Structure 1
């Protein structure tokens, strides 16, 4: 998918930049820009991916400045970083100038803008550094700071340019303002088909109650049959089916799948992009359990302990009941460490078109807070304290239950239904995007650069290790050195923002690099 990443790599822990505006989610007809100067703005299918919706800028060619704008609430903040990245699409076969402008400064700046020239041969990624921003009515450039309340975008500024140009959404599990940009585990379901990747997923099929039944009055057996869980066309399908199935001498009338991740983590961000089943009686869930539960048939067994439920802690990122498909639940289930009594806490949030449209279900979990998000909007939050058991490793569970406490009555005409998952991603909190306090001791030049750049330390110690990482936390290059100055060829990197990490025997340096 292509995404318009009007994305600030800001360092504001648990501080949403544009709570109403980022991510720009054209999938749900949100974040509609206002057009002016005979320009039009609307939403349509991406011509390169018809399962994705994109924003469209349509210039009439009758005005020198045709464009779109969006008021930002809260305002965009430039105090920590000034980098903007975005994707842009044109197929007009010519170079196109795009201008991004920020208005409404609260720090005395005029309107700040930068321009880039982009070829009209498909999707392109662009990085703009507003530390060298033009200011309308002034000569030279400024390193802007403070808040700006509006963004405006022009294609072909000061030109009578007609044509249709595309922008797309900020990616939902890429909230770099929260510094969860180190992707440590994922399944994109793109490069294979058939059974779920056995190196990443475990089928939990042994019933957890006496080996013959599941909790909460559920009416299914879980299987490892490919008819109940399989990968095809870039997504995982978990399918609940009406069929008689016997396990350990007990026959149930429905089958489904319950997958455990073979990855356990403590703190981080989880993003799951999914479509949910629409049928009454289905109980889909995206959740985590403490890996120290030692539940019957789960992947980790007693590897990390054997405290049982609810001492292990449970985090429900998404549950949906069987009778109202217009809400989802977020809940915590745990034992209070002070009273040794079971407690739960949670809420619901409205959702529309959950079976036909992909939504992103997310968890942010730190030492201090637990948040659950729908499409990058927080709707549940609980302070993480030492009286609740959320300081241990957890693993991810994906399943559809049938009936039971939250599934309710299963209609007699139910035959089958599916939960479809586009990706599962786990990020750890990192300092990528944070130019650390030692930033002045390292020099990267030229920056921006298109091919060769140099890394030089103002330090007596040599560089022992160097890596280049993208904004998702993926390491693209790592090398061992023993020099004070390193020359890097970055010509094969795509245009965009990267982070250079260098290590000496006693220090670590992190600094951004823009590839032109």
Structure 2
């Protein structure tokens, strides 16, 4: 469940259902570009090699800003990836041409590079290059050494003219080796030791508050995110155990215009529901949740995780002193959402600094009657990949080739959330909606023996702030013997004895590993220095 209102890409675009990663060679239909303002895209055989499929790009000349875009399954991270892009271009006419290559993302300033060239005679494929270390800021045309993460690539041929034409493009690349293709059935680590669960088989009535926390505090501004229309409460009307199942019930409380609704924290809403945080957090493992989903237009049930370090006022782990990191830097794993697509079509997603809000790291599955049938929604989260499964069948894998704070905030602890939201980006609520439940049979978290040993020590030490730019403090009930800070090459950068602090203001920004030694206990923490 997206926790922030996404910054949408320009209204000129519609969200594409296709996504791929650099390089783009058009060998499969995944490399499909969306076209706009009278342009058109299709696949066709190479004019010189009929066995090679290429992309055909067509401008009809009706608009000077016709173009084509593709959402990338793995964003381009210009801080670490090669900044020089190239593509192969074939024109059926003898005219000179320009190609503008643009990288876009809701979290960064859009950047672009334009290349001008002459077409060979007779026509032949030519290589066209784009250097994003000498790019333009798309908003004002200023020169910029582009950096940041970009999830959309856009192409304009002869931008600013009304010149019609048909062109072939192939092999769009920046020279980097792509990440391995998704192999969802290749689960690299098996987690088979049950470490935490709730099967809800206790007495009918309230939830187990030793395991779950009701998150009810409204964010600043008086509304939950994404235009949602509910209050979350800790009432047994909205969350309760019944016949061995957890029920999270969304309820219509009456029209505000009629003097009805539910009031809390100075605001009145027409709907109530519940949002539960687990009082258990973990790093790596398998999560299985068996659930039936609520029915009715506008219902938005979610099973998901957030980083334990999220600085969200009112979240359980924030109230316990762990709130050091804003969203999406904390990471978010959406194990199941329903209501963002068609009826019975559930979705999964990952939100990271490299792709958040309207993330490109997402997939959907069409299931049978999710309101009346139980399905098991799962993730298998290892140090190398996150595999999503439904009813024990894997269908989507997140495995970025470059794992850093932009793409992979998933080597720190996450906790579980269960909730049913109403409205917002889930769409218009059925005017006849009365109430409906998400019914959960069980929640199970599995790890293996090595991870269990690590998790036992995970709460011995707190490190704050993180990210940091001056002084890092380690909090523990145990005496700290030594702190050592290593860079990602394993080189010792700082060392302090018998101290709970270590100064980082004199070292370069980046990711570091802090090793904490206290008696026989040794723990490592990832530190981000700004």
Q: TM-score, structure 2 length as denominator?
A: 0.46
Q: TM-score, structure 1 length as denominator?
A: 0.47
Which structure's residues are more often strand, by fraction?
A: 1
